[in-house]
Amino acid sequence: MNVLGIESSCDETGVALVQLPPEGGVPRLRAHALHSQIEMHRAYGGVVPELASRDHIRRVLPLARQVFIDAGCGLEDVDVVAYTRGPGLAGALLVGAGVACALAAALGKPTLGIHHLEGHLLSPFLSDDPPEFPFVALLVSGGHTQLMRVQGVGEYDLLGETIDDAAGEAFDKSAKLLGLGYPGGPALSRLAEFGNPEAFELPRPLMHSGNLDFSFAGLKTAVMTQLRKLGPEVCEQPKADLAASTQEAIVDVLSAKSMKALKATGLKRLVVAGGVGANRSLRTRLNSLCRHAGVRVHYPELHLCSDNGAMIALAGAMRLQSGRAAPAHDYAFDVKPRWPLAEV
Ligand code: KG4
Ligand code: ZN
């Protein structure tokens, strides 16, 4: 069985084809194609929703064509069409949902609306070292920061989440203050390599709060305060030091809370997913802490950390496999720009 996946929730258009092995086991990625809108949005310093939607319209069918060429099969081989139903930008989501439902209707095949974060959460199953259930998941993207207890496909219990900004947002907003442009996370982490992470004393909000919630909004204020102190002409070294100190503060909090979640649940497996999961410093820290705690830690392949169609096709395939999803022949689609993962 082949599941076509379409992702269009924000600034990446992704299409992929995943095959469910008839004998069971982890679904196999046959092909995927991706277009990032980063260059288009860069001029505006962030994602412009209207432009994002229009670009998804332009890209999605050519990307689908490419996927079928790479997979060596055709539309007639698709059994289910999965698409990102939410959360995300409403207009952008509607493009993927509309195209998915139109394709499915033309083929007479069912559709499956997928939660974007479920895609991220399951994406390490496409890696060479797939996890086993149950595990603790640290979901760190541009819009979400959550710790979940994952018992199986569709069995997600929220352990803690951010009460204000997401970790990715903290990277992006701090990077903007440092004049590093968009997207901020990768730029800030590149600059941080040249800086001293102990140069600036920045807050670790809620680090010792006793629960598993996060708060990152205060961090950008602290970065702004330090920048003001440095004056208008900031030299390269203090800038790199501030980038390194910011990254260190975020990594400290994310890793401390992840270890706390593992301890609280008694689980010995951690999955890290979402765009911030690509951060080298975070990976190094978690690898070291988990090694000492006897915990296995799993990540998606680096190129599947950010948004992509493969994780949506995979989540569709795994939901089908687990019997948790009933694909529908009802093509009157809707999208859910706000949608808690625990409600899937
Ligand atoms: O998961 P994702 O691609 O999109 C959302 O679903 O939000 O995550 C994007 C976020 C952005 O905030 C971006 O700055 C951040 O992930 N990001 C990083 C890195 N690569 C992407 N943050 C820190 N270090 C990175 N290497
Ligand atoms: Zn995402």
**DSSP state string for 197-257:** TTSS----TTTTSSSS-B--HHHHHHHHHHHHHH-SS--HHHHHHHHHHHHHHHHHHHHHH
Residue 23 has a pLDDT of 87
> Which residue has the least CA distance to atom 11 on ligand 1?
142
| Tokens representing residue 269 in the block | 């497996």
Query: Does residue 274 have its Cβ closer than 6 Å to ligand 1?
Result: yes
What was the pLDDT predicted at 181? 84
Two structure tokens written together for 81: 């069409």
CB of 174 closer than 6 A to ligand 1? no
pTM of the model: 0.96
Which pLDDT value is given to residue 177? 95
Does the CB atom of residue 197 touch ligand 1 within 6 A? Answer: no
141 CB less than 6 Å from ligand 1?
yes
pLDDT at position 328, please?
87
Say what the pLDDT of residue 311 is.
98
Q: What's the pLDDT score for residue 75?
A: 97
The alpha carbon of 306 and the centre of ligand 2 are apart by a number of angstroms equal to 6
Pocket-testing residue among 123, 171, 281, ligand 1, by greatest number of atoms within 8 A of Cβ: 171
Q: Is 186 in the pocket of ligand 1 (CB under 6 A)?
A: yes
Q: Calculate the dihedral angle through the C-alpha atoms of 300, 342, 32, 129, rounding to the nearest 10 degrees.
A: 30
pLDDT at 22: 87
pLDDT averaged per 10 residues, the chain (length 344): 98 98 92 97 93 98 98 98 98 98 97 97 96 98 96 97 97 95 93 98 94 96 96 91 98 98 98 97 98 98 96 98 89 94 91
Query: From residue 210, how far is each of 160, 206, 213, 258, 261 by CA, in Å?
Result: 11, 8, 9, 13, 11
Q: Of the residues 182, 276, 282, which should be mutated to test ligand 1's pocket, given the most ligand atoms within 8 Å of the CB?
A: 276
Distance CA 71, CA 79 (A): 15
For the beta sheet containing 12-19, the strands, ordered from the edge strand earlier in sequence to the opposite edge, are: 28-36, 12-19, 2-7, 80-86, 111-115
pLDDT score at 224: 97
- In the reported structure, the alpha carbon of residue 274 is separated from the centroid of ligand 1 by a whole-number distance in angstroms of 7
5 lines ligand 1 (CB under 6 A): no
235 CA from centroid of ligand 2 (Å): 34
- For ligand 1, the distance from its centroid to the CA atom of residue 25, given in whole angstroms, is 30
Tokens of 47: 């994602």
Judge contact between 151 and 131, C-beta under 8 A. no
For residue 25, give the 3-state DSSP assignment. Answer: coil
Q: Residue 24's pLDDT is what?
A: 86
**DSSP label of 328:** B
